[in-house]
Chain A
Amino acid sequence: MGKYLRRIIQIVWGILSNAHLTGFFRGSLYDGPLKRFCVPGMNCYSCPGALGACPIGALSSVLAGRNRKFPFYVLGFLITVGVLVGRFICGWLCLFGLIEELLYKIPTPKLRIPEKADRVLRWLKYLVLAVLVVGLPLFYRDETGTGLPFFCEFLCPVGTLEGGIPLVLLNDVLRPTLGWLFRWKFLILVLCVLSSIFIYRPFCKYLCPLGAFYSLFQRFSLVRLRVDTETCIGCGACSRACGMNVDPHRTPNSAECIRCGECTRVCPKNALSFSVAGKTPAKKIRKESDSSEDKKI
């Protein structure tokens, strides 16, 4: 069950957050009261099924607004989620992350990015957050004084997949307006999809500004990974199992950890576990410690 629990939650969440099913037939968006709230993961609000707002789209559009308001509401939401659970959202409640994981399941030889290149590429997502989500929408203005949500417009593959493709297929009116921008974004989506077959969650690792934002709070989040140094034997099973290339027994609260829990599952000594607000449901650890003490006796 433990092995499938995360997958079930990912699927259920993906369906629940896109449960406006009539939208997929009519090619229209949900316009009910839930759209006032952001969803915690990447989920385009122009998806015909979306019940909530995309936090990155909402943040960008507030920053790009003519009156340059400080985005208290969206930023407050993001900080609260970041402090409560950090990148747990990426591992459990992101539909695009789920799609990437499923693509990675396709049986092909997998690509391991060299460590040095991987380390450099991971900084890209912070650059995307700082420049495309915050900087350019805030400072680049057209003649009317309005900014552009650069990330949504030029990079986001989630919008193309969840919003662009279904809306273009369902609306005859939109089809003639397709131009270079749609082709560009479609190309990015294709690259993301293809690379996801060979690399574990490449968009999350290298480009996702939401993951970058949550990772800033990873050290301080209430949900944390804890290593029982007394029971850890340093076998490296956790590092080998980690798709995000984290070394959980050395850096359990790494900014790159998406809290998928795979390391806790494979640890032969149950030395890794999640803690919430400093409290570990330490049954497993205690059981292991008890048994090792028993052996000593």
Chain B
Amino acid sequence: MRTKRITWIVTCILLLLGVGFLVFGALNGEAEGVFRKAVTICMECIGLG
């Protein structure tokens, strides 16, 4: 029972952390960085250096 509660608390903390990071990053304009990288052909990814 105690282990279950601890697991549940860790889950909630991690979820808050994840959503917090995601929102903070989005507000900070990081999605634009991802966008810029994702719309140009990634030479490294396709094996052209």
Residues of A in contact with B (beta carbons under 8 Å apart):
29-31, 33, 35-38, 44-46, 50, 52-54, 57-58, 61-62, 65, 69, 71-84, 148-149, 152-153, 156, 159-160, 163-164, 167-168, 174, 177-179, 181-182, 184-186, 217, 219-222, 278
Contact = CB atoms under 8 A, between A and B. Distances in A.
Contacts of A219: 7
B49 A181 contact: yes
Given A35-B35, A74-B34, 15 more contacts: A62-B33, A65-B33, A76-B22, A76-B24, A76-B25, A79-B14, A149-B45, A153-B47, A156-B45, A182-B48, A186-B47, A220-B7, A220-B11, A221-B11, A278-B8
A35 B22 contact: no
Contact of B30 (A71, A167, A217): A71
Interface residues on B, range: 35 or more
B38 A53 contact: yes
B13 to A, nearest CB: 9
Nearest to B15: A83
Interface of B: 7-8, 10-11, 14-15, 17-26, 28, 30-35, 37-42, 44-49
A62 B7 contact: no
Contact of B37 (A61, A69, A159, A163): A61
A53 B37 contact: yes
Contact of A152 (B11, B14, B24, B45): B45
B21 to A, nearest CB: 3
Contacts of A186: 47
Nearest to B32: A36
B43 to A, nearest CB: 8
A75 B17 CA distance: 10
A217 B14 contact: yes
A62 B45 contact: no
A159 B42 contact: yes
B21 A75 contact: yes
A62 B30 contact: yes
Contacts of A181: 47-49
Nearest to A278: B8
A271 to B, nearest CB: 19
Given A152-B44, A163-B46, A164-B45, A76 B34 contact: no
